[in-house]
Chains A and B, each alone.
Chain A
Amino acid sequence: MFNKFKSAPNNTPTESEEAADPVAPEEIVLIKEEPAVPVAPATTPNVTPSATQQRGNGMMGMLQANVSKPSILSEGFYFKGELSAKGTIHVEGSLNGQVQVDELTIGSRGQVDGIVNCKIFHIKGRFSGTATCEELTVTSSATVDGHVVYKSVSVQKGASIKGELLLAK
């Protein structure tokens, strides 16, 4: 346990800054500066169990974040215009316009109106307009109105789809 605690911050120095623990980062810095024994035992008895645990969570969070860092348009946010990005966009607010992105998720309170071009398209909220995607997922809370061109689709029971679904070749 002691070794783990000491080696973790050395291996991933950047991660310690992101670990959402207000106490841990300071201690990590201390340990890094002087690997001598006196400081470490003082901190470890109280903090180690929770700190290692949280660091573990932080690491998981980082790994996931590296896989797909979603940009989030949160609730109450209204965006109008052209949006182009690599990676993931999660919409809980309102988006109006042209979107080009790898992965687009419309959250249950999100609303997207316009032209969407993406690889993976998850709809939990409302979508109207024209979309071209490879993988389309429509969940039960979704409302879709418009043209959607897809390669693979799955629609959950309860979803409302108006308009045209077209299979891309």
Chain B
Amino acid sequence: MNPTTKQNSVFIGEGVSFKGSINAPDEAVIEGQFDGDLTVSSLLIGQTGRVTGTIKADRVDVKGELNKDISSRQLLIVRSTGKVNGTLEYGEIEIERGGQVRGNMSQV
């Protein structure tokens, strides 16, 4: 399915930079740059994506960069190309070899 036409979801494409806050009941796919607050059920950061801010999600999948305060209530996956900096709160975590994680971690 084309992610741009999914209901309750948001897609920020490569080259797009967004500042502000987003509240999406379903999914957020970020290939561009995002700055701000993000509350979403499922967050997917593509290889070119960069997210900075306060993130609240159930599931987070990071192939790009994720900074600042992150709360992933269920599962946080850092792929081999992923970089995560900041304060991390997670239910379950998985880091692929090569993934970079810097910060304070705690389990909810």
Contacts and interface: CB of A to CB of B under 8 A. Distances in A.
B89 to A, nearest CB: 11
A156 interface: yes
Nearest to B101: A165
Tell me if B's interface is mostly helix, strand, loop or mixed. Answer: strand
Contact of A152 (B77, B78, B93, B97): B97
B86 to A, nearest CB: 11
Given A157-B92, A161-B107, A166 B102 contact: yes
Contacts of A159: 93
Contact of A165 (B75, B94, B96, B105): B105
A155 B95 contact: yes
A166 B95 CA distance: 14
A160 interface: yes
Nearest to A153: B95
B10 to A, nearest CB: 26
A156 B96 CA distance: 8
B92 A158 contact: yes
A135 B107 CA distance: 23
Contacts of A157: 75, 77, 92-94
Interface in B57-108: 75, 77-78, 92-107
Nearest to A165: B101
B99 A153 contact: yes
Given A160-B107, A161-B107, A162-B107, A154 B95 contact: yes
Interface of A: 138, 152-167
Interface of B: 75, 77-78, 92-107
